[in-house]
Structure 1
């Protein structure tokens, strides 16, 4: 009998007392037609009552009954398909997000009280730290792993003829159409999620330093503004902890007034737990760089400059940098670590001190019963 099914018999006659086994694979096309594939494997069980009802039905009718086996014979509303935006830890940018998404349509019902197929939910995966905006207003902040936001709802399903069946009207011809789903225009904005944010003026060597301490490979050149987008590098420790360091593009004076691309750069610092002020030790009076950077951060957002921080004096391999280093330590009240991104001098001390700042932030989050950021 199974072999006969494989040959595609037009009619299927089953005795009401026997059980027949076969696997049926169904796929609904957009045109609401059935595509049937029958395989000779004993997977599906048909009950005796089902066989009796299908004794004189075509194969397609049997498949209709199979799909409604165990379902109540009343018309119901279709569930609303959703369009959701969900955080995926494996997605790191918005480059794969398409400009237009359309939900998956449901399928209308058919004869013999068959229900229509619900539309499937559509999930759009976005990276951690994504802001969802509508008309410039923030409607969702997806800052935790697994966060979801329902961007649009599908319409309610319509009512078939069966819904209007009454004692007075035994053959209703009335039906209602399903509703249209929502249509919205949303803006997605990514704010870099990292433990440490490297802040500095153009050409201070931030990208070179990130290449030295992590596995990131941002572009490096001898001219300013080489980095136009933030890069995140991961420092891996022997106990398998991972620390994320973000290379923020160079900040200029007046960035808090949106000069240049001030806001586009400064917004990525908001989510960093602690800051690394990368200074060019070979420049004249490098302590003025530190003062200017703190001023720009505080003017952009109150309290931003008061976060835990570390001053990194770069380019210590140059002669002028060795002269300026003791002067810098006298002028600032923060810890200063002198490194060379070119030669790798003193990089290990920097990595170990970053771990101390990282552990301190984790302990603070746990004490506040907050879920710490982990990569």
Structure 2
């Protein structure tokens, strides 16, 4: 949401210029990347019963949402394939003299990207989540066929409007203000080519990149567009991008060591203040994010005077209690982020990127390793679950729409 569409005459040219950039960004964002989509689903109508012979009508088909194994599939692909965004299951077969028990209608499976949260579009109630390939969620039941319990009258299937909300799944989520160098860093350490330029709001949609290691280990990274102050109340494009951070295992704070000013009329926030403000924005959006494992990176160390700025930032962080009172009250987080590593790099020059990749891998391994410590019966049960899931996935793929 943008609050600065109507510009007072007394605003200077620089303010007008910033507003134009932000508004253009929103317009460019919409057609290129879709992270939410409304659809209509309806279960099949049940088949009529045959009263004088006691015949039972077939049940209407159900509508289910299933996670696709195709990592490239997107909500935009779903919209392009089904532009009407309406999905109806088949009706049940009515009872007849030749077949007293009618066939059930065919259910349909709507293929969606992994990481989709489904809401009822009318009530806003959360219905469920499709996290992985093969995950299935029943969203509209088919109607019951006619029988003696309902006087052989068939029933209509459920119908509802749904909101499909995508929240990217990645190992690492980049967090920072515009122009901190997130896209440059993403391009340097992974197989991704985000837009890069020397002005804010270059990144208009999330990018996923893959870091590869010599032993073929792969770690996924999400480069999210820069936040602005007030992102937690949806200023700028706040909620559109903050929600993607929820699905990442590790947060990577990317901070310009020289600080950041949203535009020339704003006071310059130094690197320490940027860390505090980013922490506060995450805290106000979702308190659980503050306990998420995190790494702090000070970028642009190739520029003159960077070492002095870094020394000041590290001093303030090491004894933050002595400096936090100088910040505005609404900028002070209730608790500090616990960074497992604090590094200084130059994404542009490639300085210390190997150390950063090693730190990311170590942090991810510490998160994942406890989940792999299964022995005896626990390991056998986990293998059985995986086997059952793979069988279900293979069955579902054959009937996907």
TM-score by structure 1 length?
A: 0.68
The equivalent residue for 2:288 is 303
SS of the residue 2:195 aligns to: coil
C-alpha distance 90-192 of structure 1, shift in aligned 2 (>3 A): same
The equivalent residue for 2:115 is 129
Give unpaired runs (5+ residues) of structure 1. 1-72, 164-174
User: Out of 182, 185, 189, which is 2:161 matched to?
Assistant: 185
The equivalent residue for 1:341 is 347
C-alpha distance 119-239 of structure 1, shift in aligned 2 (>3 A): farther
Count how many residue pairs are aligned between Structure 1 and Structure 2: 285
The equivalent residue for 2:371 is 365
State the 1:110 CA deviation.
6.1
The equivalent residue for 2:201 is 225
- The 5 A counterparts of 1:197-276 are 197-276=173-252
CA RMSD of aligned residues (A): 2.8
CA distance in structure 2 between the partners assigned to 1:212 and 1:74 by the alignment: 71
SS of the residue 2:209 aligns to: strand
Kept in 1: contact 2:60–2:92 (CA 8 A): no
State the 1:84 CA deviation.
0.5
C-alpha distance 193-185 of structure 1, shift in aligned 2 (>3 A): same
CA distance in structure 2 between the partners assigned to 1:142 and 1:85 by the alignment: 8
Kept in 2: contact 1:225–1:249 (CA 8 A): yes
Kept in 1: contact 2:57–2:101 (CA 8 A): no
CA distance in structure 1 between the partners assigned to 2:131 and 2:98 by the alignment: 48
Kept in 1: contact 2:59–2:103 (CA 8 A): no
CA distance in structure 2 between the partners assigned to 1:114 and 1:188 by the alignment: 40
SS of the residue 2:137 aligns to: strand
CA distance in structure 1 between the partners assigned to 2:317 and 2:59 by the alignment: 62
C-alpha distance 113-146 of structure 1, shift in aligned 2 (>3 A): closer
C-alpha distance 89-241 of structure 1, shift in aligned 2 (>3 A): farther
Q: Is 1:355 the counterpart of 2:361 in the alignment?
A: yes
CA distance in structure 2 between the partners assigned to 1:367 and 1:254 by the alignment: 41
Kept in 1: contact 2:146–2:155 (CA 8 A): yes
CA distance in structure 1 between the partners assigned to 2:288 and 2:302 by the alignment: 34
Give unpaired runs (5+ residues) of structure 2. 1-52, 80-84, 260-267, 319-338, 383-401
C-alpha distance 220-74 of structure 1, shift in aligned 2 (>3 A): farther
SS of the residue 1:221 aligns to: coil
1:128-149, CA deviations, whole angstroms, 9 ceiling, x for partnerless residues? Answer: 2211111211111223443211
State the 1:198 CA deviation.
0.6
User: Out of 255, 258, 282, which is 1:279 matched to?
Assistant: 255
User: Out of 74, 78, 89, which is 1:103 matched to?
Assistant: 89
CA distance in structure 2 between the partners assigned to 1:232 and 1:212 by the alignment: 13
SS of the residue 1:332 aligns to: helix
C-alpha distance 308-156 of structure 1, shift in aligned 2 (>3 A): same
State the 1:116 CA deviation.
4.6
Q: Is 1:151 the counterpart of 2:151 in the alignment?
A: no
Select the structure with the greater relative contact order (CA < 8 A; seq sep ≥ 6).
2
CA distance in structure 2 between the partners assigned to 1:330 and 1:367 by the alignment: 39
State the 1:267 CA deviation.
1.5
Kept in 2: contact 1:315–1:342 (CA 8 A): yes
CA distance in structure 2 between the partners assigned to 1:93 and 1:290 by the alignment: 33
TM-score by structure 2 length?
A: 0.64
C-alpha distance 113-78 of structure 1, shift in aligned 2 (>3 A): closer
Kept in 2: contact 1:195–1:273 (CA 8 A): yes
CA distance in structure 2 between the partners assigned to 1:313 and 1:89 by the alignment: 37
State the 1:88 CA deviation.
2.0
